[in-house]
Amino acid sequence: MMTAPDQRPFIDAGIAALRPYAITQGRTEPTHELDLVSQVKARSPAPNPPQGLVEEAVFLLCHPEACSVVELSAWLKQPVHVVKIVVSDLLDQGVLIPAMPDETADAADPVVLGRILEGLRGI
Q: How far is CA 108 from CA 39, 64, 103, in A?
A: 17, 24, 13
Which residues partner with 67 through β-bridges?
A: 40
- Domain ranges across the chain: 5-121
The pLDDT tens digits for 3-49 are 444 556 567 778 888 898 899 988 999 999 999 989 999 988 878 88
Predicted local distance difference test score (pLDDT) of residue 72? 94
The pLDDT tens digits for 62-100 are 988 899 999 999 999 999 999 999 999 999 999 999 987
Taking alpha carbons only, the member of 1, 9, 15 closest to residue 86 is 15
Task: Give the Cα-Cα-Cα angle 57, 2, 41 (nearest 5 degrees).
Answer: 50
pLDDT of 107 strictly over 90: no
Name residue 57's amino acid: A
pLDDT of 104 strictly over 60: no
